[in-house]
Chain A
Amino acid sequence: MSEVSFSFDDKLYKGRQGEPMAAALLRSGMLSITNSTYHGRPRGVVGLGVEEPNALVQLVSGTKESMLPATVIELADGLAARSLTGIGALPELPDEARYDKTNRYVDTLVIGAGLAGLMAADEHLRAGHEVLLIDDQSGPGGHLRHLGLELSSALRDVLAHGNLTYLCRCTSVGLYDQNYVVAIERRSDHLGNSAPARRARIRVWHIRADRVVLAPGAFQRPLIFANNDVPGIMLSHAAATYVAVHSVRIFRRAVVATVDNQGYRDAVRLHHAGVLVQGIYDARPEAGGPSVDAARAAGIPVRFRATVLDTASNSEGACHSVIIQDLDTNETFQTAADLLAVSGGWTPIVDLATHIGIKPQWSVEHAAFLVSHSTDRLRTAGMLAGDFGGDDDPSVFFGPALDPEQARHAYIDLQRDTTLHDLRRAVGAGLYSIEHIKRYTTIGTAHDQGKTSGMLTIGALCQLNGVAQGGKSGLSPADVGTLSFRPPYVPVPFAALAGRERGLLSDPIRITSLHQWHVGAGAVFEDVGQWKRPWYFPKPGERMEDAVRRECLAARQGVAVMDASTLGKIDIQGPDAAVFLDRIYTNIFSTLPEGQCRYGLMCKADGMVFDDGVTTRLGKNHFLMTTTTGGAAPVLAWLEEWLQTEWPDLKVYCTSVTEHISTIALVGPKSRQLLQELVTDIDLSKGAFPFMHSRGATIDGIAVRIARISFSGELAFEINVAWGHSRHIWERLWALGRRYDLTAYGTETMHVLRAEKGYIIIGQDTDGTQTPNDLNMFWVVSKKKEFIGKRSFQLPYLKAMGRSQLVGLLPENDVEVIPEGAYITVLNAHPDEHGKTHHTGFVTSSYYSPTLGRTFALALVADGLNRMGEVVAVPIGKKVLRATICDAVFVDKENIRRD
């Protein structure tokens, strides 16, 4: 391994290419890496991998990842990192790295390339399966790597098999129903400066496998004792690996506290690496087996029924001595040690199994929750399934009894600085469910998601709950149960999940065929679903209100034009088209003559208004329906649902033509004069072309369809033309329109104009809880025919008096626009006995009207239609605005202007 240099907190360090940053920092003598988040106590490396709760760092090189354990960062030249106190900071600049995703179908997916995973892969390869083997380490072998052992040739043959794909640095983050697995593969960080510039940093794998084998291994767990967070206290397996494999030579005297034989094996490794192991303190009454024999042979003193009670630290905060307690006599004594290696048993990684609801089972023999699952499609292997491989013989022991003062410094979750004292408080407050206690104490909610603290919590609760329930002894962890884990197993950068679907590629952008003209005219756009629609067209120096005022007056006094192409358009054909529309709309369409248009309202079966629009009868069996911009897709799905699942006897065909037909709305008293200059083959005069009629015509040889439809109350023409020809028609209108001072207007002006006429916008003035009657639109509801929703109007709660109804509001202040969404109360409302003031409605649309020269609004008000003339209050912060309830039509109540 070649030597590399990296920086940590702006100081340069040397390390070996590919080793964990934690190893190099330890080797340099850095025991304390950071201070804890809440208590500010010095903290050092505890573990070996993703379970690490303390040594969190922020990368300041490369992608500047905001929070990673130093135990999983592979050293590479040029790497730079900074210590963190548990709270990361997102980099200020966007992440420019590449991320991608891929899909894979495979016969067998094996998660974990330790011994168990490799053997499972071998078995499935022999059965002729194609196998995908994924593992989060930088190489195969799992536990063997920590022991510094090479793979046997038989295992190397498994990896070389032609039917096997092996992915290292690939972490399964979620197991979902039906063997669907999401994994993230880290592909470039470990290469540092030499990473190819175009390589995706992380690849997200979506894997679907006929069979899944879970062989994720286990984490060693700590013990609960006073001052168990001091730097120099490590999991024994981690300590032995750093010393024996990564040549960390900073410890002179070690104490091992254990509840199983793993502690003995690690003591022997420390001993052989030159650390003086002063003693193994084993909570069990006795122990045997090869591991124990090896420790005795090495001359390491062993004492049973003893464990660590407390530690003391030196002036730098690092461990310098350990206080041992005899568990039978409670006598204590102190021994000097700069390393306390702790072995509290193994916690198999149950996370993925619990993602799909499998409940781990407590095994006293293993002192662990296991998942022994074996079906045709999913099975567990290795430590998760209870195959611990050695002579461990662990006891169920989580730490000695602690007095209240000791409990304040006995840490359960190092990252959250949660102590046994906090846990006792939670139980004292009456909490007993581990899920509640997790939320109350925040144990297990930090970056590491409780990988080491979860089992300690369960262990401590056994004791506390047992006592709380009046028992003398503790409960079993089986009674407490495990926490359920949710994906992701380790933090996943949002950038990885987004992949290449970022910025312009994050969502489709829909533009009309006139979009470039709008851009050239300086339009300010608003997003309406995926559509970009011109909001208003400011002239130089104009504010929004200036532009909207000018646009509104042009439409009411001269002529103005809008691109209405985003309206949903559905072409409906077939011999039963008219019958079908009669059932869909609340009003009748079968009587509509050819060449005429009609406004229609549709309801869901519960009687609530769902969409509206104008539908034109183009022929006996041919209609063109328009929907709201946002309603295009839902309405088409709605029509199809009825045709396919209820009325297959109707011969009707629906086709979305939204993007086939552009719609140009020409609005204002001078619109007829302007358009007649352009259209010479039909007569646009009032007598020849009445309101709500539709005519085919040609402009410069281009077929167009013109309809007298008005969403503003003004004289107006909607020109429908094939999408690709609309720019030509639009330019021609502008060439001729110069003499008329033709003005382009956007959605804001459209809203003001329609609201002045009391025309609703679905989704703004409605929210799916209004019937046509609530909107004062009884005129559009047929009494003669059946339609979807009609039956519901007979339901008592829809017939009841006092429902919210759409009304107009005239604010007392004719300049200040009431915010949309504002609540309305009765005037001088008195708070009820709870101090709450009840609303009587809310404002749905609110604007300044240049035509009226004042503010106005639409609102849904309880029993509003019977409260005309009532003055109501609109509290805005500390202010109370007043407004008068009025009719919702503010301009041209007689409908004279549209002709």
Chain B
Amino acid sequence: MSDDPFPLLSLRGVFLSRKGQEILKGIDLDIFPGEIHSLLGMNGTGKSTLAYAIMGLPEYRIDRGEMLWEGKDIHDSPVSDRARLGITLAWQEPARFEGLTVREYLSLGARGRTLSLTPAQCLESTGLHPDSYLNRPLDHTLSGGERKRIELASVLMMRPKLAILDEPDSGIDALSLDYIKAVLRKLIRLGSTILLISHHDEVASIADRASVLCGGKILKTGIPEEVARFFRNHCEECPHVNRPDREDFAHG
């Protein structure tokens, strides 16, 4: 993590509604260059929504608040523009593509970059053997775990400034978690910053800082151990679970 006092991404008072329901209710969050920032929260608390809003998906445009990228407002920037700025997202359930090979998909992320790793190197980093996977179609013949690892390899190919990883470890066997952690470290070595959404303590433990999201708000930000303790003590039994619309619960 760098000593740069200026955040790469800064969210101030971000509100977002979907289908008439307010999901993000005033998010304040800073992501600093070179850090792994872990985002904790129970299911339904808005973690993926926040990830999509940062990526700029059209259905997840923020209603109000500020979203500053290196100090500049990116509120109106479409997905492609944000990607060109260096933001990318690894989906929790990545899309599959008929007729596209793993090699072709990985290569898309490296377009216009001169210092990219090769598709084989990126695949290998995720524990998938290039000879077995590069020419395979990126379709339903891949298991969920394989597809997720390829998604990580794709992010690695892109070498983004900010990688938003939405539960890269869900559906992955325990033995493969080491590969996930290795990819995270590699991204950091290559100069990326990571916003990591994860339920695995083991994966989240490599974060530099962590935040807890509950009821559409950031409740606490700090060092991962403290935040994890807060999460265990206050959130795991919290009645806010899947009820981000209710305001009548006090947090400790």
Partners in one complex: no
